């Protein structure tokens, strides 16, 4: 219950989960080799590495991967504990599922990369849905489901339970899920219930499986939990406690902020011992934004070191660029409406040139043309849009880079190693970026992308 609020009658309280704003955020599980698993998921499944962090003082690392940004997609959180190379998955955890337009093609791609296919693609028994099963390097099973299109490719988490009706009631009452589908297959001696917050082709669902006569399973130490969002962890926690008294389970963490992070959570076990963590919606988004800002700052710092190695003429650019990214969020998104305000933000008479300069320097530091999009094309496109506000133009240039961009080092590419660029990269970046900021394509003298407007490098082409 929210701090300071009066007790809510249980009849009203139990309606809260259905009114709350909830979705599946991520599943957490442990792996024996983080880099190996990242490579497998990105190359075989087509996931993107969204973020990665190392916590040496606590001797673990983790990585978040998925098919879209964490703000709107269900993702996996992989945890690697220093020195632990394998885990026991147990008999209770079933599988994850990925929806794909062509299961047959995906299986062949995975096979070509050395993946372990445990069930060849084909229709399910007694049905028409095409599926396949793949085992990842740590032994986790992934079901591949053929669907024409889906907004959420990472679409299922399957867990085995000892009493299906009890589990359905628990997830309905404690977590506000709805029973999306229930199937009984007596010929195969099992039943399943799909639980979620929308139809199974629209979002991630929890697939609860009951095998006739089996009431207990081993949990192992590999799979950890699933995280779900909530607008009020205190009220949600009170509901969970109420339902646990009726159906069983255990609260493992009372509602409140995590020390050092301040993200409010609560966690509990269902009647079968499966763990769920409820995470405050607003705090979760703040945590993601903090990561993005930190990531951008690190990128700038690294590129600055590269440039410093190439030429001392870039030294004076480092503080400006870092300050640009580290400006407090409540100030950064307020477009300077006067020269005076611009000077407050960046210590200069403008702001567009600093933004363009930072991206251009990153391009010459890494050889990656993703940065040119932020320095030029994206900026000019926003300027061309008559409905775009000054704030929108500012945001467009400030928006990148972020963790969704391909920021690989491309300095070995042929087009970058030509003497006209490579021999002067440390000096050329600030020279080019110090030209005028981008202008509209409708300008009298045509569009200006802030890159070499006097034509010094007009014969240098950046095509691969």
Say if residue 458 carries a ligand binding annotation.
Answer: no
Say whether 125 sits in a helix, a strand or coil: coil
Between CA 282 and CA 30 the distance in angstroms is: 27
The DSSP element (H or E) to which 265 belongs, if any, is strand 264-269
190: its two tokens:
């099992």
The encoded tokens of residue 339 equal 């020269």
User: Nearest to residue 137, comparing CAs of 188, 181, 85, 184?
Assistant: 85
Paired strand residues for 154 = 98
187 is in an annotated binding site: no
The residue from 70, 71, 108, 143 that is catalytic is 143
Q: Is the dihedral of CA 349, 352, 357, 362 positive or negative?
A: positive
Query: Could you identify the residue written with the tokens 């032994």?
Result: 139
C-alpha span between 251 and 401 (Å, rounded): 40
Active site residue 287: no
CA distances from 212 to 127, 176, 189 (A): 21, 26, 5
State yes or no: cis peptide before 401, omega within 30 of 0: yes
Q: Is residue 201 annotated as involved in ligand binding?
A: no
Alpha-carbon gap, residue 72 to 52, rounded angstroms:
18
Binding site, annotated residues for Zn(2+): 77, 95, 143
**Catalytic residue numbers, as ranges:** 143
Would you list which residues are annotated within the binding site? 77, 95, 143
């Amino acid at each position: 219950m929210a701090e300071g609020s009066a007790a809510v009658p249980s009849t009203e309280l139990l309606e809260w989960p259905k009114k709350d704003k909830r979705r599946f955020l991520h599943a957490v599980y442990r792996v024996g080799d983080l880099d190996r698993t990242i490579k497998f998921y990105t190359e075989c499944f087509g996931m993107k590495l969204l973020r990665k962090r190392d916590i040496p003082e606590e001797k673990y690392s983790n990585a978040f991967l998925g098919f879209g940004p964490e703000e709107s997609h269900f993702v996996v959180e992989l945890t690697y504990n220093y020195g632990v190379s394998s885990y026991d998955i147990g008999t209770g955890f079933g599988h994850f599922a990925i929806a794909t337009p062509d299961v047959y093609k995906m299986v062949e791609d995975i096979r070509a990369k050395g993946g372990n296919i445990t069930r060849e693609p084909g229709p399910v028994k007694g049905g028409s849905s095409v599926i396949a099963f793949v085992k990842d390097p740590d032994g986790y099973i992934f079901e591949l489901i053929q669907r024409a299109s889906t907004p959420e490719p990472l679409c299922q988490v399957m867990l085995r339970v000892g009493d299906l009706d009890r589990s359905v009631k628990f997830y309905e009452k404690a977590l506000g899920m709805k029973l999306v589908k229930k199937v009984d297959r007596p010929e195969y001696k099992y039943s399943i219930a799909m639980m979620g917050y929308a139809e199974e082709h629209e979002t991630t669902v929890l697939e609860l499986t009951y095998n006739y006569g089996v009431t207990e399973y081993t949990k192992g130490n590999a799979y950890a939990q699933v995280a779900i969002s909530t607008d009020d962890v205190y009220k949600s926690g009170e509901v969970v406690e109420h339902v646990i008294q009726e159906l069983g389970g255990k609260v493992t963490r009372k509602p409140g902020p995590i020390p050092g992070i301040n993200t409010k959570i609560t966690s509990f076990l269902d009647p079968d011992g499966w763990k769920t963590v409820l995470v405050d919606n607003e705090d979760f988004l703040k945590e993601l934004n903090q990561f993005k800002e930190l990531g951008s700052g690190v990128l700038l710092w690294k590129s600055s070191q590269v440039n410093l190695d190439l030429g001392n003429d870039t030294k004076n650019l480092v503080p400006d660029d870092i300050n640009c990214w580290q400006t407090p969020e409540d100030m950064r998104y307020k477009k300077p409406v006067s020269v005076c305000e611009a000077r407050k933000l960046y210590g200069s008479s403008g702001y567009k040139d600093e933004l363009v300069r930072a991206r251009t320097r990153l391009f010459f530091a890494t050889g990656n043309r993703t940065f040119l999009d932020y320095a030029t094309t994206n900026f000019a496109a926003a300027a061309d849009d008559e409905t775009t506000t000054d704030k929108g133009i500012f945001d467009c240039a400030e928006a990148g880079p972020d963790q969704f961009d391909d920021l690989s080092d491309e300095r070995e590419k042929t087009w970058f190693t030509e003497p006209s660029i490579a021999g002067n990269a440390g000096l050329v970046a600030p020279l080019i970026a110090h030209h005028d900021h981008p202008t509209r394509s409708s300008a009298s003298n045509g569009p200006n992308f802030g890159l070499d407007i006097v034509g010094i490098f007009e014969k240098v082409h950046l095509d691969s």
